[in-house]
Homo-oligomer: A and B are copies of this chain.
Amino acid sequence: MNYIKIPMDIEKKSFQIIGEEMGSHNFTERELAIVKRVIHTTADFKYKDIIYIREGAIDSALSLLKKGTTIYTDTNMALAGINKKALSKLNCRVECFVAREDVAKIAKDREITRSMAAVEKAVEEGVEFFVFGNAPTALFKLKELTLLNKAKPKFIVGAPVGFVGAEESKKEIEKLDIPMITIRGRKGGSNVSAAIVNALMYMITR
């Protein structure tokens, strides 16, 4: 059988097809790199219309990545999807706080979701780069802590997916004056979150 076998060739060709099919847009070149990677991951052109990239968000993300930051994720899937070679080149690290044993204990003791406990723990440990692909409650919690001046996030990917709370959680987080990229409505997910982070890292590493 005759088919393209080199992963980088496949990616290049895919991005070309996406560019041809996505039609007119007003994205900058850097924004486009993010949008295309999200479409590449989902084969869903709808993301072109529902992604929100706040002015200055890319610069904030890149400056965190350049100084070597810890990235918070709310699922092991998002963690798995974030490119480890690029992370390592940047001296960054990623941690799924939700999967930690101490976080599970706090959640159980206080009858809150693991995601909420995870955000508290991450804030305590000084995390500034937050990636949410799953848990709406975590976004509500981060907003709460930010308004109380207990959290100072410098960049947020807000992309929980789902039918209960996801859309509302993204509307709420957008009310904060913080650099962020969100997926509006019900869509999003771990794969989408990881694609956004990868696109940002590749702006520096590739």
Contacts and interface: CB of A to CB of B under 8 A. Distances in A.
Interface of A: 1, 3-7, 10, 13-14, 17-18, 40-44, 75-77, 79-81, 111-113, 116, 136-137, 140, 144, 161-166, 168, 185-191, 194
A3 B194 CA distance: 26
Given A77-B80, A79-B80, A187-B43, A163 B113 contact: no
Given A79-B80, A187-B42, A189-B42, A162 B14 contact: yes
Chain copies in the assembly?
2
A93 to B, nearest CB: 16
B187 A190 contact: no
Contacts of A187: 42-44
B13 A163 contact: yes
A106 B75 CA distance: 31
Contacts of A161: 41-43
Contacts of A3: 136-137, 140, 165, 168
A86 to B, nearest CB: 15
A194 B81 CA distance: 13
B164 A10 contact: yes
B190 A81 contact: yes
B191 A43 contact: no
A5 B189 contact: no
Contacts of A40: 162-163
